[in-house]
Structure 1
Amino acid sequence: MRHNHHIFITKRSWLAIAVVAGVLAGCGHPAVLQPGIGFGADAQVSPSSPPVPPCTDQASFHLLGETRWGPDVQFASVPVGGLSSIDYNATDDRYYLVSDDRAAHDSARFYTARIHYDASGLHSVQLDDARHLGAPDDQPYAPKRAARAGVAVPDPEALRVLPGSQRIVWSSEGDFARGFGPELNEATLDGRWQQAWPLPPQLQLPARNSGSIGPRNNMTLEGMAISDDQKTLWLAMEGALKQDGPLPARGVPGGPLRITQYDIATRQPQRQIAYVPDALPVDNLTLPLVAVNGVSEILADGPGHLLVLERSYVLGTGFSARLYRIATDATNTLAMDALVPGQFEPASKTLLLDLAQAGLQTVDNIEGMTWGPRLANGQRVLLLVSDNNFNPAEVTQFIALAETPTCPR
């Protein structure tokens, strides 16, 4: 009830908000990416970062570099955009990136890529293949205007390669308008659908339309991580279920969202934890609150811990992103129909990096995160990618961050 005076938008509505900026961006011939060729004519690569200390009091990250693609970049004659996840597969030394294009520009798809970096910077990002995701009926997914009966129009948001297999797992936020809820799908490396993983009942679309329970449209399965021991898959909601609490407001944290743990061997949910997203910033703007904040990605970070990426947008201030480290030993909420304050303990969270302080040109709509190969000196490298929403006012942004370890005590 306290949110009735606010105006909330979905992620896809950012396109309309930025339309003026998109017009100012101008027009031009598309930059075409061919297999094995680098990032397009309008790409920008940042210089390498200044020297950093060998260790710090608390583990942190420093910028190696960033690459930015404009909205006119194409691959195989299709616009490149909507990149909502990134995953490194050491087996073939490639990165896997899913697009959340709802089959509007081409059938649902993911890309494979090679990314080259070292201690001196991020040097190139090269797409080398586009692979279509098949529907359960063995046909390509169709766009909304040609949707088939019984088949959802997907909204892919997360993708990981299953270790030791020729399979991927990818999530869809659902096709609520046509009665399809969120999905967790398994496919072959060439995109052929194999099976659906079961979702906990609370994450499924209710059988009857309800304004008080169930997931919120476009705030569902956004993040995915695979544990270091390769036995566990974690699946994160972007925002709270309706019965679990409100979305974040100015100065007020959001209701707890759910992160579910799966046993990879059985494909079954084992347990679940709650995570409380940040409040929206308190500002002096007279604009209506057109804003959103939630979890856009998660990543394993050693036994018992995850990295959580919170991404937000506020009209008048733009995008922001913050990286947290959380402990996974919080209360098991898997059997709880509603998360009632006082009946559970959410995951503890520690801020590692505000991307606004990382030295980037700008912070865009960052949605994907993976560990890449270590640097020659042993430092871990964190790679991130942004979803440009196929919006002329946004960019596809690749970011490479090197971890600065803690000093011995």
Structure 2
Amino acid sequence: MKAHWIAILAGSGLLVTACGGEPQGRDVSDADTGYQTTLMEQLLDAQPGDVIEIPAGVFSFDRSLSLTVDGVTIRGAGMDETILSFANQASGAEGLLVTASDFTIEDLAIEDTNGDALKINEGENIIIRRVRTEWTNGPDTDNGAYGIYPVQTTNVLIDGAVAIGASDAGIYVGQSRNVIVRNSRAERNVAGIEIENTEGADVYGNVATENTGGILVFNMPNLPQPGRQTRVFDNQVFNNNTRNFGHPGTPVASVPAGSGIVINSNDDVEIFNNDIRDHRTANIIISSVYSTGYSDLGTREDFDPYPEGIYIHSNTLGEGGNNPDNLELQALRLAMFGINGRIPDVLWDGYFDAGKQVNGTMPDALRICIDNGDAEMLNADGPGGYGNPRMAEDYRCQLDPLPEINLPF
């Protein structure tokens, strides 16, 4: 097992242009092309407190939309009734770019954008409710990276959303604070739901299925703030086995097909009361950025590459680990568990910060703790060059529960 962890994770042939047959997108030949000017003028002329109502219909846009005014609500007639199609987009990348606070968007769909579907940058008090983002041709590396994409935001609610076909993450919250993602569905993305470099997030009541990885909690270097304190609970995370169609060199491209929940270099993460099953590689993966193949570790002194304070308990864990995503893990499975065996429910790359140990033991608050019935953890021995994978020891413990996230609205 000398292969680099990215090979263990990604495997040869993992990164592909598309999955399945010939892409089939939405037919927009009958879409309303005249509404573009109306909506652009409404967004440009908007005042705080305005509600912009978009009627039912399929509306075609050939350029990006933007909003810069605080206190605006955009409301459609339903995510399957009001459809903003960017299949003919010739200008701009995003579908809708919002740089404003006290913003609500609800009951509409954004489809087939060149880049990100809905991006909200540097706002606070953001509500995204019953919004669908989708690339209708299915999984494809040429799809936009992010579906629902609030970044550098504070006080965010994503509720009842649907995200399909993103080449990075369907629902992504990055570099933000005080976040709730609930009652939403992510399918056929590389990452279904991703919380990255975010402080304080609750992810619950969601369905993540048919992605490459179901739910990701990442902390990456060279970003303005570190991530910590995420609760992932009461979710259905199953059958996330779609081949990775992410762009080579991006962090998400290292996620192996068949990953349920993945924690990477993040601290204080509690995973509980989830139904996690039917993942060919592993139901839960815990790793350091050292194992991703992502080489730009930067010079930030406060970046901590080690996952610490991880508490996994009270989950329902089904089948998984019986057909890992590459030959290296297949060989490990056969050697350690036999032809009918499987990778344990928790796969850990083995990286930890020895400098934080006290008398050879990690302090209780920094440990990886599993209190989940007979669930076991495999240490893949990343620090040793993956040469001595073995069953982990001393992980049967409990941590204090993390606090609930509360929003001010």
Q: Which has the higher contact order (CA 8 A, sep 6+)?
A: 1
TM-score, L = length of structure 1 = 0.27
TM-score, L = length of structure 2 = 0.27
